[in-house]
Structure 1
Amino acid sequence: MGQNWQPDRLGDGYRYLTLELGEDDEGPVAATLVSYTAAPPPPPSLLGRLRAALSRASAPVQPVPVHAVIYIHGWTDYFFQTELAAFWTERGVAFYALDLRKYGRSLRPGQSEGFITDLADYDADIEAALAAAAADVRSSRGEDTPVRISLMAHSTGGLVASLWAHRNPGRIEALILNSPWLELRGSSLARNAAAGILEPLARTRPKTRLKIPELDFYWRSVSAEADGEWELHPEWKPRGSWPIRAGWVTAVLAGHAQVARGLDITAPILLMASARSTIGATWNESMMTSDSVLDVNLMVQRGLLLGPCVTVLRFDGALHDILLSAKPVRRRVYAQLDRWCSAYLLR
């Protein structure tokens, strides 16, 4: 049965596929896979076609492996990073992005935004995306085409992807993390205390909304409506955070605890983050050139516990989502990402 891809809101070259995932207590659940395909290159010259024909005639035909990357967003987020899609396709990598259930394109009326009580439930979203991406590649390159898929993920998505990779060794070529949320800000003591307090509430009333101040500093640093340069969907990435619910926080804290105990991700890992954090209750101009959401030093400490092959890259002037930083910073990020991929992924 064919895949029902539809044109995506991002415009030319973008399309999306709805991944049906059954139902929960709020009704039907789905994830959404977004694909980007650049305009085809011009046809080869006559000399180029002759050389290709001679090469095929003189060597046994072997299916050429295709690399693909699936990008996973963070909390109160969705995929809109078109520069990232262009970066991968320019290197011959098939690019996909996954809007998880109850996020972005996957959010349905009446659903609790981003709500989940066990991060392992996202395994179904990732598995569906992996299968759909592989099928899409083979539909255009041939059914015998080997497809090598890597995951790239940001913030909470980085936590989700790391835990999935730990549970599924050998399934991906590489794991690329953009400021992953691997630990509660503060310490493991704070995390254990918070988990102990929230556990009874999460068990009996998991959708209870916690009274946590909603700061808009990060939104201000990225949104074109404020001091940033990016056009954001007002419902999918609003000025303030979505409601923080007890069951969701408990699920995240459980993931942090697992990371703190150490994971065994066998694929090579790249962790990219800002050089510094600026955490505060009031706006500070340094939030335009630093991570205003997470403690990057703690992030890097936890990142070294993910597996035996971890590369850490830190960028002066980068925001929490380093791909949304000022253009000079983004140029450095993409240059270093290209260098790392040349060594570990596209060798």
Structure 2
Amino acid sequence: MEWLPDILGDDFEACAFPAAGPDGVERTATLVRHVPGAGTGRGAPGRTGGNPPRAVLFLHGWSDYFFNEELATFWAGQGFAFYALDMHNHGRSLQAGKYGGYVADLDDYDAEITAAIGIIMSLQPEGQPAPSVALMGHSTGGLIAALWASRHPGVVAQLVLDSPWLEMHGSPALRRAARTMVEPLARFRPEAVIRLPERSFYWRSVSSAAEGEWTLDENYRPPRAFPVRAGWLSAVLAGQSRVARGLNINVPILVLISGASANGMFWKESMRRTDAVLDVNTIALRALSLGRTVTLERIDGALHDVFLSAPRVRADAYNRLARWLRAYVLTDGNSA
């Protein structure tokens, strides 16, 4: 494996690696790690004789990639080695000739998530125990993280979900109706584009190129997102159906969502302080299907990604996350 300087600059490195899914197809993903002091040769994991006893792996949302340096700094401050995975067909892992954001089955991400956690474990110096790993996911990445954790019990110690896309906007009935309409097309023409109204409201509220504060690479995170393809939407709907049936995840789970949603075909000022993507009330109810120990935090004024919200709002989110970690993580890195 070769770690190279990352697009985020000092303190970050990236490594691309192949992973073969359950269908036998080999796909490329990219693991990003936070290495405080790497730009000065100080503090990089594995270089100074010891790693933190805990680690966290972050999964981005659909049509997205990892760029939130502040999130990495927070986790490091909590005693975690921070890693993020740009999953195949996303961000740093985009390849010419491949459809951005496309996947035909959410299980296709299993191999790269498993491999990434294996890499994280392997970086621990000889003689030190393997780190306890938390899994964190945002939006579609939150759905993927929850499904992965349910299929791989005993691997991660905690699950943190930032506005996970656990259900369609509105109601389970809408999901069932959408699945009925999409599945025939997904079966025979999975890569067909489904024409939906294009909205860039969330991007507008986040990007410094519009009215937000975050610098986004539009090659990795296009303003109007990648085209929605039938196979991808069918995969998401199938994953949400599994959540609805109950996942029985047996580790502590934290779900963070905005206090309110804003929807519609036209921009409105409330979209600066609400979730303009998901129905937060539906997500709050569906979160109860995840497992036995679920904590729900509703963050007033938060965007769809609560950790990209206004400084005061995301400070509240970080404080709530830190409080939860104090409650559910012991000093030896195991779950409470």
- Specify if TM > 0.5: yes
Shift of 1:143: 4.3
Structure 2 unmatched ranges of 5 or more: 43-49, 332-336
Shift of 1:241: 1.6
The one-letter code of the counterpart of 1:269 is I
Shift of 1:148: 0.6
Judge conservation of contact 1:16–1:35 (CA < 8 Å) in 2: yes
Distance 1:228 1:147 in 2: 36
User: Residue by residue, what CA displacement relative to the aligned partner does 1:166-191 show, whole Å, maximum 9, x if unpaired?
Assistant: 11111101000000000011211111
Distance 1:142 1:304 in 2: 40
Residue matched to 2:130: 146
For 1:272-283, list aligned pairs within 5 A: 272-283=256-267
Choose 1 or 2 for highest CA Rg: 1
Change in CA separation of 1:148 and 1:266 when aligned onto 2, cut-off 3 Å: same
User: Residue by residue, what CA displacement relative to the aligned partner does 1:67-115 show, whole Å, maximum 9, x if unpaired?
Assistant: 0000000011000010010011122211000000000000001101111
Percent pairwise identity: 48
Q: How many residues align?
A: 321
Residue matched to 1:39: 37
> Of the candidates 241, 244, 253, which is equivalent to residue 260 of structure 1?
244
| 1:172 maps onto 2:162 in alignment | no
Residue matched to 1:130: 117
Change in CA separation of 1:135 and 1:64 when aligned onto 2, cut-off 3 Å: closer
Judge conservation of contact 1:77–1:236 (CA < 8 Å) in 2: yes
Judge conservation of contact 1:65–1:146 (CA < 8 Å) in 2: no
User: Residue by residue, what CA displacement relative to the aligned partner does 1:205-247 show, whole Å, maximum 9, x if unpaired?
Assistant: 1000001011010000000011100010111111102010000
Residue matched to 1:52: none
User: Residue by residue, what CA displacement relative to the aligned partner does 1:144-183 show, whole Å, maximum 9, x if unpaired?
Assistant: 3231101010000000010111111111010000000000
Provide the TM-score with structure 2 as the length reference: 0.92
Judge conservation of contact 2:147–2:239 (CA < 8 Å) in 1: yes
Change in CA separation of 1:64 and 1:74 when aligned onto 2, cut-off 3 Å: closer
Residue matched to 1:211: 195
User: Residue by residue, what CA displacement relative to the aligned partner does 1:271-327 show, whole Å, maximum 9, x if unpaired?
Assistant: 001000001110000000000000000001000110000000011100000010000
Provide the TM-score with structure 1 as the length reference: 0.89
Residue matched to 1:58: none
SS in 1 for 2:14: strand
The one-letter code of the counterpart of 2:3 is W
Distance 2:218 2:22 in 1: 26
Distance 1:16 1:241 in 2: 24
Distance 2:22 2:292 in 1: 37
Change in CA separation of 1:91 and 1:109 when aligned onto 2, cut-off 3 Å: same
Distance 2:126 2:185 in 1: 51
Shift of 1:23: 9.0
Distance 2:30 2:330 in 1: 27
Judge conservation of contact 1:73–1:98 (CA < 8 Å) in 2: yes
Judge conservation of contact 2:21–2:111 (CA < 8 Å) in 1: no
Judge conservation of contact 2:51–2:81 (CA < 8 Å) in 1: no
